Amino acid sequence: MPAAALPGRATASSNPDRIGLSGWGNYPKVSTELLAPRTPAGARDHLLGRSGVVARGAGRAYGDAAIGTHTTISTRGLNRMRSFDAASAELTVEAGVTIADILAAFEPRGFFLKVVPGTKFVTVGGAIAADLHGKNHHRDGGFGTIVESFRLALPGGEILSCSRAENAALFMATLGGMGLTGMILDATLRLLPIETAWLRQDTRVAGNLEAAIDQLESSASATYSVAWIDCLARGAALGRSLVYLAEHATRRDQELLGPELAPFPSPRMSRLSVPELFPGWLLNRASMRAFNELYFRRGAAQQGEQRLVHWDPYFFPLDAIADWNRIYGRRGFVQYQCVIPQAHARRVLADILDRVSRRGDASFLAVLKQLGDGGGPMSFPLRGYTLTMDLPVSDTLFAFLDELDALVVDAGGRLYLAKDARQSRATFESGYPGLAALRDIRQQTGATTRLVSHLSARLGI
Amino acid sequence: MTGTKSILVIGGSSDIGHATALRYAREGWRVTLAARDIEAAQRNADDIRTRSGVETTVQALDVLQTAQLAGFVAGLSVLPDTVVCVVGELGDQLRAQTDPELATTIMRTNFEAPSLLLEQFAQRFEARGSGTIVGVSSVAGDRGRASNYYYGAAKAGFSQFLSGLRNRLALAGKVRVVTVKPGFVRTRMTAHMKLPAPLTVDPDRVADDIYLADVTRPRDVIYVARRFRLVMTIICALPEAIFKRMRI
């Protein structure tokens, strides 16, 4: 029996030592002090008198965005909901509440979030700080568009209410501001009424990248659209994809397409009713090629047929596999996500995909999405196409990614800070002309030297 | 009908209290949280109301003011169907050895006050002919150890109180008493401790098990981390001559 194995052992309160912390990509792992306040007021108090500090939500940013150079303040204890007004659909929650929490509580009552990312395990604070986007960005904009207001604790301890009407510049700079304008304590979001828990999904096959982009372009009126690219396909089939288009199913849609289904099935039922997209046992490199082939054929077989898919596997396929980030092993991985402006997208994305496919160790799937105009000055999206893929860290990876960066910069594109762990300052500065606005705000609020993440130190924000 | 039932959680500002109240609220139970820290309890109540849509209220109560416990229970607008007492304080064992005041507080908080309060509910539930009393005790009460014997002794007393109360009420009729021994729970109380993962549970798990033992599948004594029943059985079986020389 280990020494501390029984409850109530009054060990001397162990000094909150510096620990090694990483993002979802397990790279880089760096040393920081980790604080875990239990209340918004406690979180604000931790900011006082500290430098080199940044907030951390669920730790789902892939790189070094949510690790303070000296101190990291976890918002996981800020996990209480405050109030909900059914008439206005306005929900106020503390910053550490996750999208999963919100959907668990409100989906059964007929509400969804208009903007959700690829995982439901992110916090609201993190969603705002990254101004994350969903599969409908080209139509509906980023997470910021559903944020009515939030309260921000500044490094000096002052707490400001921010909205489009109040402290508007600070509000906008905080969208995509990666926690560098202050610490978000709570936020008011506007929920989306839905009639059912189902999506009406339409699958299209695209034989190559050109066709995939054509499909996305011609279906711009679809609410949700995304292309899953088979990265193992080469040559003429380079970029072969399944394009998924979807709408929230109305009650009528559901009665037509799935009369046997409940409009809001219990979570258990929803898991049973739709096969998981990615069973965990398939996630090893040896079986990837076979899996891709199977996956592609299954999708192709569904072409032209409308079917109902529950929101959980539709939006969050990887959430079904706990800790999927571990498949890349101890050295971790980088999720490379760039956006290329519309005009250059076809040429540059083809070039990137070609290089990645020839490299061979890349992710077996890549995701291609359309983006619209960005929200805040530091928001990632710009009108064009965004490509996302996972690459395991290796000795040659970073030099390779520098090559890709050069293509992105050349095309006037940029990299997503929530995914970034390694881009250069030059790449960053050329991609984010809104940086000046963020720097101004940081000067004004005293954040420049106080709120410093490993990401902001690396990129000179 | 569960929709008309109500639960009172004593210690409603705590993590286990919050999780337990939310679990019942999700089944449609009306919730009242009683706590000394009214602000923290209100934060929990707002959360429960927002998540579940269920009416949730807060009552101020300092259980150590034992003279006021009868008045508190008499003053409740509704006598709850279930009362859950999660009041407890680990305290600092080393300090308690030289600070009789602290030692007294640990013993009163974990044993005296919860017992006196639950006796009040026992009588009213008995008169009504229904109700469940849930007492959150601890595996630390199963055997006294050097590292926490004030806390452990008080929890032992509380466990025996619940056992005796259950015996009395079972002979008399319909009121049930559930003893909960959570083992390690990731809460504010244990935030500074290194906990062994296989024996550690989240407050949600404690809440699920309390609801299960109260409503779905009635039980008398539950260990939330199941392995703890075995662990404690072994620990309790050790001869004192050996046990007294162990550091556990």
Domain architecture of chain A: domains with CATH: 81-194 (3.30.465.10), 198-426 (3.30.70.2520)
pLDDT tens track for B52-110:
999 999 999 999 999 999 999 999 999 999 999 999 999 999 999 999 999 999 999 99
Mean confidence (pLDDT) of chain B: 94
* Partner A contacted by B56 (CB < 8 A): no
- pLDDT for A83: 98
In the prediction, which pLDDT does A271 show? 43
Nearest-CA residue of chain B relative to A102? B51
Of A2, A11, A84, the CB nearest to B193: A11
Task: Give yes or no for residue A293 having a pLDDT over 80.
Answer: no
Instruction: Please report where in the chains the tokens 């009163």 appear, as a residue.
Output: B108
The Cα B80–Cα B84 span in angstroms is 10
Q: Which of A8, A80, A109 sits opposite B43 (nearest CB)?
A: A80
Instruction: Give the tens place of pLDDT for each residue, A187-246.
Output: 999 999 999 999 999 999 999 999 999 999 999 889 999 999 988 888 899 999 999 999
Question: Which residue does chain B place closest to A108, by CA atoms?
Answer: B52
For residue A327, count CB atoms less than 10 angstroms from its CB and return exposed for 0-12, middle for 13-18, buried for 19 or more: middle
For A78, A202, B138, the CA distances from B107, given in Å and listed in that order, are 31, 65, 13
How far is residue B16's CA from residue A235's CA, in Å, rounded to a whole number? 58
Nearest to B50 among A7, A39, A81 (CB): A81
More confident residue, B189 or B41: B41
Chain B residue at shortest CA distance from A77 = B188
Interchain CB distance below 8 Å, A82 and B47:
yes
Active site residue B211: no
CA gap B211, B229 in Å, rounded: 19
| Integer angstrom CA distances of residue A43 from A60, A75, A95, A122, A319 | 20, 8, 11, 19, 28
B235 neighbourhood in chain A, CB within 8 Å: 6
Residue of B nearest to A13 (CA): B192
Give the distance from residue B203's alpha carbon to the nearest chain A alpha carbon, in angstroms. 13
Q: Are A52 and A31 in contact (CB under 8 A)?
A: no
Residue from B45, B17, B13 nearest A82 by CA: B45
**Can you give the pLDDT at residue A408?**
98
pLDDT at A288: 66
Distance CA A111, CA A194 (A): 5
**Residue B1 pLDDT:** 42
Quote the pLDDT of residue B56.
Answer: 96
Q: Angle formed by the axes of helices B38-52 and B15-26, to 10°?
A: 30
The residue annotated as part of the active site, out of B149, B150, B151, B223, is: B151
Going by C-alpha positions, the residue among A313, A335, A319, A323 that lies closest to residue A121 is A319
Q: Does residue B189 surpass a pLDDT of 80?
A: no
Mean pLDDT of the region A379-400: 93
Is A349 within 8 Å of A340 (Cβ atoms)? yes
Distance from CA of B173 to the nearest CA of A (A): 34
What is the average pLDDT across A129-157? 97
List the A159-163 sheet strands across, edge first.
Answer: A81-85, A90-94, A183-190, A147-153, A159-163
Tell me the C-alpha distance between A334 and A321, whole Å.
Answer: 19
Residue A362 is predicted with a pLDDT of 66
Strand partners, A438: none
ipTM of the complex: 0.90
Tokens of A23: 């993002």
In this complex, is the C-beta atom of B123 within 8 Å of any C-beta atom belonging to chain A? no
Q: What is the pLDDT of residue A321?
A: 67
Average pLDDT over residues A30-59: 95
Question: What local confidence, expressed as pLDDT, does residue A268 receive?
Answer: 57
CA angle A187, A193, A194 (to 5 degrees): 130
